[in-house]
Structure 1
Amino acid sequence: MPRRKMTPFARFFIVMLIIVPLAYFGASWYNGEDPLNVRQYLGLDEPAKTEQVSVTPDDDTSQADLKLQVEELEKKLQQCQQELDKLKSQVNKPE
């Protein structure tokens, strides 16, 4: 047997010491607030760190590559336009 019996008020008080802070933290977190600035401790508020890398392109090769790429894309565009015209003529052709 226990030496002393715990009174109902003592039980209520101990339970409230546990429940009230948990309820406060839960309600604050649910409302979008941060009760103890936990986000700062965990690093959730800081934006992602990105490194900036400077690249010096080779002017001679990059310009030649770009011109070649532009020519290829222009040829592809012309082919697509021709194909589109063929498809339009097929759709508009009465049967």
Structure 2
Amino acid sequence: MPAGEQYKICRDGEASSACVRGAEDEVPWQALIDVLVDLDLEYELERAALSRSSLGATLKARLLIRLKEQYRIRRQPYMQQLAAL
């Protein structure tokens, strides 16, 4: 295997030659993963801050549901792109 290349997990039916990807393929993967990590961290920080707030339990619950839905919506396109790669 040439330097800079790495193995990837093969899916059923993939030719063995399709199981090797070059280092240049790493950039899109890494960029998507970086964005997802940032979104995850931001969500966790906001969730923790909301949980610590002095708001009433009912309002907190509604806001946590809204926060989780916004997180899911923001994350979805990146997960789709990652799945496409």
- Calculate the TM-score normalised by the size of structure 2: 0.39
Greater helix content: 2
Asked which structure has the greater RCO (Cα within 8 Å, sep 6+), the reply is 2
